[in-house]
Amino acid sequence: MLDSVFIQIVISFVATACFGVIFNAPTKTIPACGLVGAVGWAIYYVMIDIGVDEVQASFLGAFVVSLVAYFFARKFRMPMIIFSVSGIIPLVPGGIAYNTMRNVMELDYIMGLQNGMRAFMISGAIAMGLVFAEVFMQIIFRLLSQGKTSMQSFMKSKKRSS
């Protein structure tokens, strides 16, 4: 199993890095883009493997993608979107969307609706995961910087009084 997870990570790294090229990410960030996608896919794959539903697994995958993208955005001093856009591509429910289209074409509207709802739920979960992680990080960093500045001002006032 370890072997296959490792192979999955390598393949998703290659796929995401290629998407970085298609979306024209700055050249030096392309390996980082690949890494973001590989981490997100690894979380998703392990979650599916231990029996978590696709919707929850997509949410967790997107959440982690966003966290790693936030980290790289701070490191490279670039907008977060550069890293997160190609990172979520492996999680996009392409297969289910394809089946929806296929069902509708074969006039099987019941299955089509079922698959369509599923694709909608998964893409909603991905978007939620991305946004929640970003807001989460913003709150943490705001708290951290507030603590720092208030601490500094406290130290300053202490120095002044002494």
Partner 1 sequence: MDAEHTEMAIDCFLLAGRIMIESGAETYRVEDTMLRMARSQNMMDAQSYVTPTGIIFSLGKTQPTRITSIPTRITDLHRIALVNNVSRKLTSHLISIEQAYEELKKIEKTNYFLPIAIQVLAASIASGAFLLLFNGTVKDIPAAFIAGGLGLYIVTIIHNMTRVKFFSEFLAAVAIGIVASAAIHYGYGIEIDKIIIGSVMPLVPGLLITNAVRDMMAGHFTAGMAKGAEAFLTAFAIGSGIALVLSF
- In sequence order, what DSSP letters do the residues of 73-125 get, joined into one string? HHHHTS-THHHHHHHTGGGS-HHHHHHHHHHHHTT-HHHHHHHHHHHHHHHHH
Residues that bind partner 1 (CB under 8 A): 8, 11-12, 14-15, 18-26, 29, 41, 77-79, 81-82, 84-86, 88-90, 92, 94-95, 97-98, 101-102, 105, 123-124, 126-128, 130-131
Q: How far is the CB of 148 from partner 1 (least distance, A)?
A: 19
Q: How far is the CB of 131 from partner 1 (least distance, A)?
A: 5
- Taking the least distance from each CB to partner 1, the nearer of 79 and 147 is 79
- Taking the least distance from each CB to partner 1, the nearer of 56 and 72 is 72
Instruction: Assign residue 51 a region (left: φ > 0; alpha: ψ between -120 and 50; beta: otherwise).
Output: left
- Taking the least distance from each CB to partner 1, the nearer of 25 and 68 is 25
Q: How far is the CB of 6 from partner 1 (least distance, A)?
A: 13
- Taking the least distance from each CB to partner 1, the nearer of 55 and 128 is 128
- In angstroms, rounded to a whole number, what is the distance separating the alpha carbons of residues 31 and 40? 14
Q: Give buried/exposed letters for 95-117 (b at 16+ CB in 10 A, else e).
A: ebbebbeebeeeeeeeebeebbe
